[in-house]
């Protein structure tokens, strides 16, 4: 296959890098929007382009190839992409005046949803590539190099995970000691507000062996913490080595055995898929962190039914209770949508009461905004914008109060912190508690990648501050009393 560093050269300069000379490295800038799955995908695109001669750059002005890895979840997602593409067009024109060709690609869920419309509305775009086709990037860029405008939003039969290049050790190390691994894509739930089933398709799970091999490679390069990710991760049902589908609980148990991996997390989960083996994993695996993101969206059964969430408030609370009985120190975060069509004051009051009943350690909350093509967008009784804003304000106040209370209970306690990188001040490192709180500690730079016991001495709105506790490094969190 031709290397693509000759294919994105300016017309008439094919094979010659304008900036770096013959066969010099080309640069790719990937801008990631949205969730962790897009961050992971961006890394895998960079990994797949590296053998083709592309080095990553943090600045688009510097790049020969710019990829916008887009998200369709937020309001007016497509319009935001088009406005970003306006900036990219200016950048492309400036480069052309210097005799340099910049290729503009759009990837991610907006690419999947909009397809050819993107090139029609933004002719500066050379390539539109959907999330299932990233392994084809070299071939697609070759077509771009031949002057084609290329759109690939298919769901190919081949498994992209078999074909995406693995990261180099250097790239893995540069990304830090905590890594995401996609184990599942797509969703079969069809919540009436959500575009994921349309943009990412039906649920597909990676085989256990493939996941374990990727985790082992990451561990070998120094990664200590793995977050298994998927749009509906706890619906995981990948083929196990015994030829049968494995649950996420079994997969976690297997991944926990990979040497070097000290911490495990997973996200994002559906409450209806918290099955027995997954709950048991929280009891049996010391490395599985006691912090679960479990979106509920609303506290009202009427609204949950309209959202097609397939669970009730009581189901959700029952799951929380079973998790707490299994792992007493577990804490929860969640997602909420306010102002879903038909949401009344009494529905919203139930959402507020749920926040206090669970005592979330954190949560994301949004005003409902209709996504074209979803059933929610067609529903009558859309809630006025001012009412949504008022409810969001009140909900966030309740969430903040609960989060502050959770953090306050951490004060004076000691728990294990995984040190990730230097902090803001000299001699300081920043790490993560078992509950994903950033913790600032004065510690030697050599401790990056280590897990050590830290006593929390101070809390602020967004961080904890602590000192290294005396005694040996412990292998598991010790914040058992936080929920007491």
Does 217 participate in binding ligand SF4 (rule CB under 6 A)? no
Which one of 65, 68, 103, 196 is in contact with ligand SF4 (CB under 6 A)?
196
Does 187 participate in binding ligand SF4 (rule CB under 6 A)? yes
Entry field: residues in the chain: 484
C-beta of 271 vs 423, nearer to ligand SF4: 271
- Give me the least distance between CB of 234 and ligand SF4, in Å please: 10
Tokens 């009891």 sit on residue: 283
Does 190 participate in binding ligand SF4 (rule CB under 6 A)? yes
Backbone φ and ψ of 366, nearest 5°: -140, 155
Sheet holding 263-267, edge to edge: 178-182, 225-229, 263-267
Does 191 participate in binding ligand SF4 (rule CB under 6 A)? yes
CA angle 202, 203, 209 (to 5 degrees): 140
In this structure, are residues 288 and 264 in contact, taking their beta carbons and an 8 Å threshold? yes
C-beta of 47 vs 343, nearer to ligand SF4: 343
Does 231 participate in binding ligand SF4 (rule CB under 6 A)? yes
- Give me the least distance between CB of 373 and ligand SF4, in Å please: 13
C-beta of 287 vs 295, nearer to ligand SF4: 295
Does 238 participate in binding ligand SF4 (rule CB under 6 A)? no
C-beta of 190 vs 393, nearer to ligand SF4: 190
Which one of 26, 136, 270, 432 is in contact with ligand SF4 (CB under 6 A)?
270
DSSP class of residue 88 equals: H
C-beta of 149 vs 370, nearer to ligand SF4: 370
Backbone φ and ψ of 358, nearest 5°: -80, -35
- Give me the least distance between CB of 409 and ligand SF4, in Å please: 30
C-beta of 53 vs 201, nearer to ligand SF4: 201
Does 232 participate in binding ligand SF4 (rule CB under 6 A)? yes
C-beta of 82 vs 366, nearer to ligand SF4: 366
Q: Which residues from 102-141 bind ligand SF4, rule CB under 6 A?
A: none
Which one of 67, 179, 194, 304 is in contact with ligand SF4 (CB under 6 A)?
194
In this structure, are residues 266 and 233 in contact, taking their beta carbons and an 8 Å threshold? yes
Comparing C-alpha atoms, which of 352, 263, 254 is closest to residue 300?
352
* Choices 115-123, 131-139, 193-201, 222-230 (CB under 6 A): range interacting with ligand SF4: 193-201
Comparing C-alpha atoms, which of 459, 293, 273, 268 is closest to residue 360?
293
User: Count residues contacting ligand SF4 (CB under 6 A)?
Assistant: 10
Which one of 108, 138, 197, 466 is in contact with ligand SF4 (CB under 6 A)?
197
**Residue 166: alpha-carbon gap to chain centroid:** 19
* Choices 190-198, 280-288, 419-427, 460-468 (CB under 6 A): range interacting with ligand SF4: 190-198
C-beta of 3 vs 310, nearer to ligand SF4: 310
- First and final C-alpha spacing in the chain: 61
* Choices 95-103, 187-195, 286-294, 415-423 (CB under 6 A): range interacting with ligand SF4: 187-195
Does 393 participate in binding ligand SF4 (rule CB under 6 A)? no
* Choices 140-148, 182-190, 399-407, 457-465 (CB under 6 A): range interacting with ligand SF4: 182-190
C-beta of 78 vs 122, nearer to ligand SF4: 78
In whole angstroms, how far apart are CA 183 and each of 169, 205, 212, 219, 327? 21, 6, 10, 16, 24
Which one of 143, 160, 189, 254 is in contact with ligand SF4 (CB under 6 A)?
189
Residue 468 forms beta bridges with which residues? 454
In this structure, are residues 399 and 365 in contact, taking their beta carbons and an 8 Å threshold? yes
Does 37 participate in binding ligand SF4 (rule CB under 6 A)? no
Comparing C-alpha atoms, which of 111, 97, 126, 104 is closest to residue 38?
111
- Give me the least distance between CB of 191 and ligand SF4, in Å please: 3
Instruction: Provide CB contacts within 8 A for 483, sequence distance 6+.
Output: 324, 328, 329, 330, 331
Residue 394 three-state SS: helix
In whole angstroms, how far apart are CA 197 and each of 27, 81, 109, 185, 342? 33, 21, 11, 10, 23
In this structure, are residues 179 and 261 in contact, taking their beta carbons and an 8 Å threshold? no
**Chain contacts with ligand SF4 (rule: CB under 6 A):** 187, 189-191, 194, 196-197, 231-232, 270
């Amino acid at each position: 296959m031709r290397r693509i560093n000759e294919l994105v050269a300016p017309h008439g300069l094919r094979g010659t890098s304008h900036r770096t000379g013959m066969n010099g490295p080309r640069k790719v800038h990937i801008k990631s929007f949205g969730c962790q799955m897009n961050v992971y995908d961006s890394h895998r695109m960079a990994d797949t382009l590296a053998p083709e001669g592309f080095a990553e750059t943090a600045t688009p002005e510097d790049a020969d190839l710019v990829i916008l890895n887009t998200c369709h979840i937020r309001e007016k997602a497509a319009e935001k992409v088009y406005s970003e593409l306006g900036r990219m067009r200016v950048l492309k024109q400036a480069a052309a005046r210097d005799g340099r060709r910049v290729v503009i690609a759009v990837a991610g869920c907006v690419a999947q949803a909009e397809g050819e419309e993107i090139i029609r509305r933004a002719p500066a775009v050379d390539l539109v590539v959907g999330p299932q086709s990233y392994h084809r990037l070299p071939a697609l860029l070759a077509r771009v190099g031949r002057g084609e405008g290329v759109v690939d939003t298919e769901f190919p039969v081949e498994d992209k995970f078999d074909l995406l290049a693995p990261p180099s050790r250097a790239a893995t190390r540069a990304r830090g000691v905590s890594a995401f691994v996609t184990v599942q894509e797509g969703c079969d739930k069809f919540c009436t507000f959500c575009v994921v089933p349309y943009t990412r398709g039906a649920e597909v799970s990676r085989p256990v062996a493939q996941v374990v091999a990727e985790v082992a490679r990451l561990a070998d390069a120094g990664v200590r913490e793995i977050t298994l990710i998927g749009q509906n991760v706890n619906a995981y049902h990948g083929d196990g080595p015994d030829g049968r589908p494995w649950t996420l609980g079994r997969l976690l148990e297997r991944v926990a055995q990979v040497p070097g991996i000290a911490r495990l997390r997973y996200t994002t989960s559906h409450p209806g898929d918290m099955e027995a083996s997954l709950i048991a994993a929280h009891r049996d695996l010391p490395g599985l962190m006691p912090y679960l993101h479990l979106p509920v969206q609303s506290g009202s059964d009427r609204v949950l039914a309209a959202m097609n969430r397939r669970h009730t408030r009581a189901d959700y609370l029952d799951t929380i209770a079973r998790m707490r009985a299994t792992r007493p120190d577990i804490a929860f975060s969640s997602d909420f949508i306010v102002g879903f069509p038909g949401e009344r004051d009494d529905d919203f009051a139930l959402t507020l009461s749920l926040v206090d009943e669970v005592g979330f350690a954190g949560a994301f909350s949004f005003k409902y905004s209709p996504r074209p093509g979803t059933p929610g967008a067609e529903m009558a009784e859309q809630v006025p914008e001012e009412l949504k804003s008022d409810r969001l304000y009140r909900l966030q106040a309740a969430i903040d109060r609960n989060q502050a209370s959770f953090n306050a209970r951490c004060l004076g306690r000691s728990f294990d912190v995984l040190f990730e990188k230097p902090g803001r001040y000299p001699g300081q490192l920043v790490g993560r508690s078992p509950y994903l709180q950033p913790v600032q500690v004065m510690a030697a730079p050599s401790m990056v990648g280590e897990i050590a016991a830290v006593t929390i001495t101070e809390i602020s709105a967004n961080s904890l501050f602590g000192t290294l506790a005396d005694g040996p490094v412990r292998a598991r969190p010790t914040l058992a009393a936080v929920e007491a």
